[in-house]
């Protein structure tokens, strides 16, 4: 919805919200890379991570300094994956690969809730 408002309606508030969201995600990636001394990969999952190539692109913009470079075509095609499937969205030569991994969040939440409730009763 925000992307539609930003792209079609030129809504400046929607653009600001998206810019801030992507900035914060990029900031956290950079912070974790610094704290961990690097990473084996960047993984996008969940609602936005699985379904929005534009947001993934914005988050990864200007991250070549750490070896992260998306492949625009791969990124665009990695939408609607079946749970458990993963697709590489970074360029083949990228030192830091990026993937989209489809998860079944609802089932995971339900299972965790079930497990938590069972621990309390026993």
Overall domain count for the chain? 1
Q: What is the CATH number of the domain that holds 96?
A: 3.30.420.40
pLDDT of residue 1: 73
pLDDT of residue 122: 53
Q: Which residues of the chain have pLDDT under 50?
A: none
pTM for the whole structure:
0.83
How much is the mean pLDDT over the chain? 92
Can you spell out the DSSP letters for 93-111? T-SS-EEEE---HHHHHHH
C-alpha to C-alpha distance for 91 and 60, rounded to whole angstroms = 12
77-93 residue pLDDT tens: 999 999 889 999 999 99
* Residue ranges making up the domain that contains 58: 2-121
């Amino acid at each position: 919805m925000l992307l539609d408002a930003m792209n079609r309606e030129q809504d400046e508030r929607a653009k600001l919200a998206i810019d801030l969201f992507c900035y914060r995600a990029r900031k956290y990636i950079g912070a974790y890379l610094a704290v961990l001394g690097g990473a084996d990969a960047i993984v996008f999952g969940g609602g936005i991570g699985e379904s929005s190539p534009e947001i993934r692109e914005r988050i990864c913009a200007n991250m070549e300094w750490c070896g992260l470079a998306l492949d625009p075509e791969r990124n665009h095609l990695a939408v609607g994956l079946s749970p458990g499937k993963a697709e590489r969205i970074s360029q083949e030569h990228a030192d830091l690969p990026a993937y989209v991994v489809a998860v079944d969040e609802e089932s995971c939440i339900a299972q965790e809730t079930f497990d938590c409730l069972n621990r309390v009763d026993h």
